A and B are shown apart, each in its own frame.
Chain A
Amino acid sequence: MHASDDTEGPRADPHPTRGAGLRPWRVLWAVLALAATLAVVAQPRIEARYLARAGQADTATMRLATEVLRGALERTEALPALIAERPILAQLLRDPENEGLVPFTNELLRQSAFSLDVSDIYVMDLQGRTVATSNYRAEWSFLGQSFAYRPYFTDAISEGLGRFHALGTTSGQRGYFFAAPVIDQTELLGVVAVKITLDRFEETWANSDSTILVTDSSNVVFLSDRADWHFRTLGPVPEPAIETIAENRQYPLEALVPLDARRTPLDAEMDLLTVTGPDGTAEEFIMQTSLIAAPGWRVSILTPTAPAIAQAWTALGIAVLIGAVGVLLAAVALQRRAQLIERIARQHSAQAELEARVRDRTRDLDAANTLLRAEVEERRATETRLRKTQAELVQAGKLAALGQMSAALSHEFNQPLAAVKAYADNADTFLDRGRVAEARDNVGRISVMADRMAAISRHLRNFARRPQDKTGPVPVAAVIDDALELMAPRLKASGAHVDYGPPDPALHVTGGRVRLQQVIVNLISNALDAMEGRAIKQIAITMTGDGETNGTCAITVRDHGPGLSEAALAQAFDPFFTTKDPGKGLGLGLSISYNIIRDFDGTMTVANHPEGGAAFTVTLQRAERPAEARDSGLAAE
């Protein structure tokens, strides 16, 4: 079970393969069974056909034998009458004891028999006693013997012609006898008989494979090339016939034993004859018969069936073999075709499956691809949107910072303006009163204040401007100075103290000057917010990397506020995260700063200072100080 499962395991579907493997065999068996059935059905017909053909082949032989026999009989038939006309016979019959006539006649008959090629010629008187014979020299000479019992004798006397066949009682030869009366002047004197022996015909027949036999009207086999069949009977012998035979001494009665023969008709002209021998072996023949009317003989030729049957079987075998080969070839062809069809089908299905699988995979892939493309697109859009939003937020943050600062700024501007106004008015009064020196002094003060306001205004403009600044070396000291300058009003208003030691003006970092300044402003602003309402208001700005030429520079802005909770530390740089009261800030400042620093390939971190307060650290790459750069001024922007 498991083993078969295992062996068939790799196959997707074992059934088609198994079916394809067995089908041709099944077909083959079916065809073989059909062929066998056909053979069984056809065999008798084929056999009959072969038997008929074999018989036909022997028909001519039979006709020839018949004609030869008939010819011999017909030729002999007239001889007794011709011989009877010889005067010497009458003379002898009138004077049978004549010592001179008998030898002469005997010799005459002997010579006649020789020249006529007949067996014997002999003359009988009216009592049937032989008075002269051609075989006078033989030991078994007919001389003196009586043949009155023979029908030919009586027939010759009564009818003028006698004919008879019989086994010669004297000679032991089978012969045919013709007899004619010897008549002299209407006086019947005797009978002349001519005998021909028939044994010699059998000799010629013996050369053939077939058996020729001659039966008389009593169904006795009189002639045959099979000696053992002589005088056997084929079919019933009528009782009167037996009596006649005995009377005529035609055949020895003890020889008349029926042949164990069975006869079945084969077709209109032929019969099938089965002869069983004394030892029990059966012989089968095709039997054809023709008639020789005068003696009432039937000449039959028996053709052995064995070769014909063998031929029939051979033919059948060949036919079956050819059929089987044909079927085999057909089966092979069919199987090939079936296999081909199956292979094609399998290829088709495999191809279809492959295509389907590819389609499936491709569909998934396509879907994934489309999704991915959509995601990428969305992401790109989001990024663009984010950048735009970020840029907007930077701007918004700046605007928010501006708004936040506006109060302080207006105060910051209004104060010097008020002072300028007052100085100007006073100067006018001083001039009216001739106090020129004091008036000039006031004008000087006005000038200084105008400068101051211009400076504030310039810082503001730089801050508010959209960052077009390129990333490059930025002087840290200048940036922090600017930021502090910008934040000065708020710092002053809040009363916070900034602890800051300016670094070497040569300290440069990689970044954008305006944006870095914005970050520092934001950090200072946040520090101020964090310390609002607290007793100690102190901001420490420190930095590392001062005096070095490479590595990083970390700028830390530390306040003395309450510090940040753990949650706030984690979210400090998230957009819209704020610890401030509503309305005090959007929570964008640190997020924007964070992104700005990241744009500079820097980092921004926040931690609580161990001694209290939050410390924001901006770490940037150190940069070479540009040759043309100066340590101060905003010209670079």
Chain B
Amino acid sequence: MTSDASPPGPVLFVDDEADLREAAAQALSLAEIDVRLCASAAEALPHLSAEFPGILVIDIRMPSTDGTALMRAALERDARDCR
């Protein structure tokens, strides 16, 4: 939890499809859940910190690094940070 910029949302949404990201953002906003949108794994990686408390929603089939790789990286980082 940091005080700088906007408060970190609970959901990090990673998808290469712009429409899906937009729709997800709408739905989560309507549910008053904070959401952060990323178009690729590379874009999402900087957000994956030990402080990130929320939920990761990752599209599996994405160009370049696919969803599973991103998830594996997130789990790895989470396990290391939680130790």
Contacts and interface: CB of A to CB of B under 8 A. Distances in A.
Contact of B63 (A418, A423, A492): A492
B63 A426 contact: no
A18 to B, nearest CB: 103
Nearest to B62: A493
A451 to B, nearest CB: 12
Interface string B12-27: 0000110110111011
Contacts of A425: 27
Interface in B38-83: 61, 63-64
B47 to A, nearest CB: 22
Nearest to B17: A415
Contacts of B23: 418-419, 421-423, 426
B30 interface: yes
B61 A411 contact: yes
A442 interface: yes
Contacts of A492: 16, 63
B63 A449 contact: no
A129 interface: no
A38 B24 CA distance: 147
Nearest to B26: A426
Contact of B22 (A411, A430, A445, A495): A445
Contacts of B27: 422, 425-426, 429
A418 B20 contact: yes
Interface string A412-433: 0001101101110110011001
Contact of B30 (A418, A421, A429, A495): A429
A492 B66 CA distance: 13
A429 B60 CA distance: 28
Contacts of A494: 63
B63 A445 contact: no
Contact of A422 (B16, B24, B61, B63): B24
Given A411-B61, A492-B63, A442 B26 contact: yes
Contact residues of B: prevailing secondary structure:
helix
A494 B26 CA distance: 29
B45 to A, nearest CB: 17
A421 B19 CA distance: 11
Nearest to B20: A419
Contacts of B63: 492-495
Interface residues of A, number: 21
A445 B64 CA distance: 27
Interface in A54-99: none
Nearest to A429: B30
Nearest to B23: A422
Interface string A169-189: 000000000000000000000
A438 B25 CA distance: 13
A426 B16 CA distance: 20
A54 B61 CA distance: 153
Contact of A426 (B17, B20, B30, B61): B30
Given A415-B17, A418-B20, A445-B19, A423 B26 contact: yes
A422 B26 contact: yes
Contacts of A418: 20, 23
Contacts of A442: 26
Contacts of B64: 495
Contacts of A411: 61
Nearest to B59: A415
Contact of A449 (B16, B19, B24): B19
A422 B20 contact: yes
A404 to B, nearest CB: 15
A518 B39 CA distance: 32
Q: A416, A419, A425 — which one has the most chain B CB atoms within 10 A of its CB?
A: A419
Nearest to A492: B63
Interface string A484-495: 000000001111
A449 B61 CA distance: 19
Q: A411, A422, A429, A442 — which one has the most chain B CB atoms within 10 A of its CB?
A: A422
Nearest to B19: A419
Contacts of A433: 30
A415 B30 contact: no
Contacts of B30: 426, 429-430, 433
Given A415-B17, A422-B26, A429-B30, 13 more contacts: A411-B61, A418-B20, A419-B19, A419-B20, A419-B23, A422-B20, A422-B23, A422-B24, A425-B27, A433-B30, A445-B19, A492-B16, A495-B63
28 contacts: A411-B61, A415-B19, A416-B17, A416-B19, A419-B17, A419-B19, A419-B22, A421-B23, A422-B20, A422-B23, A423-B19, A423-B22, A423-B23, A423-B26, A426-B23, A426-B26, A426-B27, A426-B30, A429-B30, A430-B30, A438-B26, A442-B26, A445-B19, A492-B63, A493-B61, A493-B63, A494-B63, A495-B63
4 tightest A-B CB contacts, nearest first: A422-B23, A419-B19, A426-B26, A495-B63
